[in-house]
Copies of this chain bind each other. A is one copy, B any other.
Amino acid sequence: MEKHQLIELFKSTFPFWDNMTEDDKETLIRSSHHVHFPKGTNVHDGNECTGVILIRSGSLRLYLLSEEGKEVTLYRLFPGDMCILSASCVLNTITFDVFIDSEENSECVVVGGCAFESIAQRMPEAKIFALETAASRFSDIMWVMQQILFMSMDKRLAIFLLDEIAKNNSDIVKLTHEQIAKYMGTAREVVSRMLKYFVSEGIISSSRTDGIRILDKSKLRALTL
């Protein structure tokens, strides 16, 4: 990636770019890397400061991960979006861990977290920009959480199945009722009963050997609205 392209990208992303000193601009440019994440790469694993990620193509998925390996998708980032939750050294008041995977082959620019933080220390408007970006994402996250917490089981299961087929790029979910129940934090009976209802509605077919096959994706999606 050419330097002038990087400058254009920063100019359009950071509203404080024009107010930066030439030295700080250089620092930010030198700390940045153009990175290609093949589909399925773990981009950020919660603990470290990966940096500020600008997405140029593809998509990234942010999620929570439990100790038992259960995931809850928070939101997805697309070209033009910026990820600040991956820069824990910038947002030191935020102490929870998110995980980020590339869902497609993704081209990103990763800005060094320490370089960004050193500038944010000197420029309140950069600090405010980082915090406000995080705050607006929190509103998204809270929305997702409310959906999950307050949502009825049919809705939750529909979302779970749609997430699974999107993740695996297949119409078949090869999980047992027991596994799905575990992922969703509920009982197997609840999952089995709801899947039986989905079968009766012609939304899925279910067999011991083939797993769950989604027959009517639009009907499943309608359940999530």
Contacts and interface: CB of A to CB of B under 8 A. Distances in A.
Interface size class of A (residues with CB under 8 A): 35 or more
Contacts of A145: 64, 145, 149
B185 A93 contact: no
A150 to B, nearest CB: 4
Main secondary structure of the interface of A (DSSP, over half): helix
A64 to B, nearest CB: 6
A72 B138 CA distance: 17
A5 interface: no
A76 interface: no
How often does this chain occur in the complex, in copies? 2
A129 to B, nearest CB: 10
Given A96-B142, A128-B124, A187 B186 contact: yes
A149 B187 contact: no
A93 B136 contact: yes
Contacts of A91: 135
Given A148-B149, A149-B148, A190-B187, A93 B128 contact: no
Interface of A: 64, 66-68, 70, 72, 91, 93-96, 124-125, 127-128, 131-136, 138-139, 141-143, 145-146, 148-153, 156, 185-187, 189-190, 193
